[in-house]
Amino acid sequence: MLGGNERTDKLTAPNMNSPILVTGASQRVGLALALELAQAGHTVISASRSLQPQSVHPNIVQFQADLCLAADRQALIDYLQGNYDGLRAIIHNASLWLDDGLANLDTMFRLHVEAPYHLNLALGEMLGKAGSAGKADIIHICDETSSRGSKSHIGYAATKAALQNMVLSFAEKYAPQVHVNGILPGLLILKEGGDEAYRQQTLKKALLEFEPGAGPLIETVKYLLESQYSTGSQVVINGGRHLKNRMT
C-alpha cells in the first residue's frame, strides 16, 4: 500500500507511454489545457479537425479527426492502440455550441454523446494499463446548463446533459481503476466577435462578474487527475450563476 507523498507522486508522475488524450485541443480552452499538461511532462494526444500549423509543444502529438465520424474515431483508436502501452486519461473537451435545429442537434449528439461513448468503450482496456500512475481518469467537459437547461440552446444543453449522465454510468462501469468525473463550467471564454452589450449581459449572469478564461477548468482537471477519492462527481465552476437573481 503506497503511503503519503509517494502515492501522490506516483499518481501525478507523467508516464510517457501512457499519454493523455484531449479532444478539441486546437484552440481556446482545450489548447490551453493541452499546453499545461504538456508543460507538466505528460504526452498529450490532441484530436481535432484542424491542426496547429506547427506543433505548439514537443509533448503534444496532433491527430486530425472529425469525431462526429465513426471512421475517424476508429482511426484514432487504432493509432493509440498501435503506438502506446496505455492511456493515463481521456478528457472529452471537443464541442460545438450550435444554435437549435435538427441538423445541429444531430451534429452535437454525435460530438457530445456518440464520440465520448464510443471512445470510452473502445479505450477502457488501455485506461486500465495506465502504468505507474496507479489509476486512470476520464473527464467529461459538460456545461452548467446540462442540469438547468437553456431556452436559447436547447439541443446543446440536452446533449451536454447526456454527456453528464454518462459520467455516472462509466464511473460505475470502470471503478476502481478508472475514475470518471464531469466538469460543469459556466462562462469561461466568450466567443470572439461578440459585442460589448452581450459581454456585459453575460458577465452579469453570475455573482462573480468576470470572464475567467481557461484557468478554472485547468485547475479542476489537475485536481481530478491527482484525486484518489473522486469518481462519479460533477464539479461546477460557474461563478455562482445558479444563485444570481433567485426569486427569494
Ligand X SMILES: NC(=O)C1=CN([C@@H]2O[C@H](COP(=O)(O)OP(=O)(O)OC[C@H]3O[C@@H](n4cnc5c(N)ncnc54)[C@H](OP(=O)(O)O)[C@@H]3O)[C@@H](O)[C@H]2O)C=CC1
| 31, three cell numbers | 489548447
**Minimum distance of ligand X from residue 90's CB (angstroms):** 13
Residue 48 near ligand X by CB under 6 A:
yes
Cβ-proximal residue to ligand X, closest one: 24
Q: Is 48 helix (H, G, I), strand (E, B) or coil?
A: strand
Question: How many Cα neighbours within 13 Å face the side chain of 178?
Answer: 28
The entry of ligand LV4SOB2L, ligand X, none near residue 204 (CB within 5 to 8 angstroms by kind) is: none
Q: How many residues contact ligand LV4SOB2L, by CB under 6 A?
A: 9
158 versus 187: smaller Cβ distance to ligand LV4SOB2L: 187
CA 216, distance to chain mean position in Å, is 13
Please count the residues of the chain: 248
10 versus 49: smaller Cβ distance to ligand X: 49
CB under 6 A: which stretch of 3-11, 48-56, 121-129, 219-227 binds ligand X? Answer: 48-56
Q: DSSP strand E in the chain: where?
A: 20-23, 44-48, 60-64, 89-92, 136-141, 178-185, 234-237
Q: Assign 3-class secondary structure to 62-123.
A: EEECCCCCHHHHHHHHHHHHHHCCCCCEEEECCCCCCCCCHHHHHHHHHHHHHHHHHHHHHH
Among 156, 174, 223, 229, the one annotated catalytic? 156
CB under 6 A: which stretch of 54-62, 66-74, 130-138, 147-155 binds ligand X? Answer: 66-74
Q: Is the peptide bond before 176 cis (omega within 30 degrees of 0)?
A: yes
Give 22's strand partners. 46, 91
**Minimum distance of ligand LV4SOB2L from residue 32's CB (angstroms):** 13
The verdict on whether 156 is a catalytic residue reads yes
137 versus 143: smaller Cβ distance to ligand LV4SOB2L: 143
Residue 191 near ligand LV4SOB2L by CB under 6 A:
yes
Q: Are the C-beta atoms of 183 and 235 separated by less than 8 Å? A: yes
Question: What string marks each residue from 69 to 98 as x (binds ligand LV4SOB2L by CB under 6 A) or -?
Answer: --------------------------xxx-
Helix and strand tally (H, E) in the chain? 8, 7
Catalog residues that contact ligand LV4SOB2L under the rule CB under 6 A: 95-97, 143, 186-187, 190-191, 202
Catalog residues that contact ligand X under the rule CB under 6 A: 23-30, 48-50, 65-68, 93-97, 111, 141, 143, 185, 187-189
Q: Kindly list the catalytic residues.
A: 156
